[in-house]
Structure 1
């Protein structure tokens, strides 16, 4: 499968047939750790400019960013200057403010360009919890071999030792729920994965987990 087809399959998987027809964007809930692990690029940046590019049927918005820090993607693109997204929010485009906020932005790289959208994790930096910031620095990558399985209806059980059950959906909070804000799914030395509460003192059984 070519890189373009792979990108297209991932993109289309976030849409339902009905949403494609009415041109509305819908996204599957994803824990911040999975958003981190599944992204090519994760940066903290400030938007300093934008330009509407006349490519494609609806156009593409190109944001010029000042990169403050990179958390993932050093080997692919050590410095990000531009972020691309669909010009229309109904097509999963992201609207970012210029010269106002610092953002946490995750995205995928295609043909040397970084693309992001509503189904990626992006947030104003000052809205991230302390646990999420620590997760970006080192905790999330420790759990990239773990699987976070959403629980929509009780009962929910882990089916393998590398699974963590994500229950925020039971209260309809999803990515803004307590587990998403304060927990990471970490692999232990015994080989199984379990939730780790980010602000608590680090558990000595966690592989390489140390506070900054």
Structure 2
């Protein structure tokens, strides 16, 4: 215990600087500001994290102190820590909205189907019947895909809607979110994956979008 304490103290001391600060600009090169502890060495981890791009599918590596690996991958559609998960598909049909997600997403976050599930709906969970919850929280895939079907009137799984007017055109917009979560635990630790949007105009032309939600929450 004594040896461990000494090593821990030395490690902490070597990574700190007595200089007080209010922002990173107040610190020497390769140090960042902690209001409580002063300037703390970054150990060049941020600079090296993206030196060789770890992101696949031409995704952009972004340095980050809040992520365990020192980076996250910025992508308009691909999922996973290094953009290894195929992007979801969104089909905004006239009678149903179809969303599919690769089942590889569970393994990416260290989850297994036995104690986790993919969830469509807002967090905290919307108030609904148990049947609706079962239909919106799935852990069984088919052909490598989790599939959600939202039938008319596009209100299941807590799907929200609003009306938008632009250039004299009236558009009805439907939107929802997809999360990962565990079950059988004392508390939830949901992981946001993406948000989808379908917009229906009066002439039935469609506008679709998939908005990744992991930039602020990504592990």
TM-score by length of 1: 0.20
- Higher relative contact order by CA 8 Å / sep ≥ 6: 1 or 2? 1
More strand by share: 2
More helix by share: 1
